[in-house]
Amino acid sequence: MRIVALAGGIGGARFLRGLQAAAPEAEITVIGNTGDDISLFGLRVCPDLDTVMYTLGGGINEEQGWGRAGETFAVKEELGAYGVGPGWFGLGDRDFATHIVRTQMLEAGYKLSAVTEALCDRWKPGVRLIPMTDDQVETHVVVDDPERGRRAIHFQEWWVRLRASVPAESIAAVGAEDAKPAPGVLAAIGDADVVLLPPSNPVVSVGTILAVPGVRDAVAAKTVVGVSPIIGGAPVRGMADACLTAIGVETSARAVAEYYGADLLDGWLVDEADAGVEVDGIEVRSRPLLMSDPDATAAIAGAALDLARELAAGAAGTAGAAGEDAR
């Protein structure tokens, strides 16, 4: 079974680990969001790609969900001693090495997709991890900063430094409309039996990937099942509500499904708290969605796959045998 998942950072990575447990024989391709990539200290940092790579490769700091296990912060402390910032972005020493290798390869002319593949040679995440694009796309947020007035800031500054405490007036994936999908992205989607949308941020993670020209159409042509990142009107984790509010979408499981659209989504998993939600043109199922431990997460991923198989079989007119073939 060939599965494509569009993933952001922490939530996406945890879901993917559950997916691997639920479908150990599947060929999984992960299209990673690069809209929150940022250049810091002259180094190119790809938080979402790294979170997926570290999580699936066994190097993640499990407790915080990002960054490396056993991390130290000597470089960051020293940069601070030189007065060189920003200090609000938590780059650890082990993590720095990843960014040094990436930056060196990018400067040597390798594309981000090739760099990511090289980094994964070490981490062996068990999935094929492809950045959504090799072109630079950076999510910027317009805020009315109480101290500095209305200005556009990098998503990371809003998200990490300001903890999204200042409302976003708008959010834009700068460069997305001119970006091309990275090599392999459209082919992987085209070859997929199922496309899954993990409970990543629907605006700045999955939404940014879908904004790369060609990706949304390719995904929409497949059987697509999403897992709601919103439970009972609040994000499962993170501050997705701040992003949804910025683009005028209600923070609810139903509204997110409508935001993705019935042209894209075939199935939508919502939490039991949202049982009864209906969305025109989308098959909605409810079940517990808290990724509280690996088993619970694997069960959620398995349920998403089951729904996808059921929908695919239904679409193919062979609904009777659905649901058990690949597990």
Contact between 109 and a second copy per CB under 8 A: no
Q: How far is the CB of 106 from a second copy (least distance, A)?
A: 9
For a second copy, the closer of residues 69 and 166 by Cβ is 69
Distance of CA 23 to the CA centre of its chain: 19
Among 94, 140, 154, 222, binds a second copy (CB under 8 A): 94
CB 249 within 8 A of CB 259: yes
The 3-state DSSP class for residue 138 equals strand
Q: How far is the CB of 116 from a second copy (least distance, A)?
A: 13
Q: Of 202, 57, 49, which Cα lies nearest the Cα of 114?
A: 49
Instruction: Kindly state the greatest CA–CA separation across the chain.
Output: 67
Among 24, 58, 64, 74, binds a second copy (CB under 8 A): 74
Contact between 104 and a second copy per CB under 8 A: yes
Contact between 97 and a second copy per CB under 8 A: yes
Contact between 55 and a second copy per CB under 8 A: no
Residue 66 is encoded by which pair of tokens? Answer: 């990002």
Contact between 96 and a second copy per CB under 8 A: yes
For a second copy, the closer of residues 93 and 193 by Cβ is 93
Q: How far is the CB of 77 from a second copy (least distance, A)?
A: 8
* CA–CA distance, 278 with 265 (Å, rounded to integer): 13
Pseudo-torsion of CA 59, 186, 176, 12, nearest 10°?
Answer: -30
Among 25, 63, 82, 276, binds a second copy (CB under 8 A): 82
Interface stretch with a second copy, choices 8-16, 79-87, 166-174, 236-244 (CB under 8 A): 79-87
Residue 212 is encoded by which pair of tokens? Answer: 């790369």
Task: Give 147-216 as a DSSP string.
Answer: TTEEEEEEHHIIIIISTT-SPEEEEEEETGGG--BPTTHHHHHHH-SEEEE-SS-TTTTHHHHHTSTTHH
CB 66 within 8 A of CB 10: yes
For a second copy, the closer of residues 35 and 57 by Cβ is 57
Contact between 58 and a second copy per CB under 8 A: no
Contact between 78 and a second copy per CB under 8 A: yes
Within 121-180, which residues bind a second copy (CB under 8 A)? Answer: 121-122
Q: Which residues bind a second copy (CB under 8 A)?
A: 41-43, 71-72, 74-79, 81-84, 92-94, 96-98, 100-101, 103-104, 107, 119, 121-122
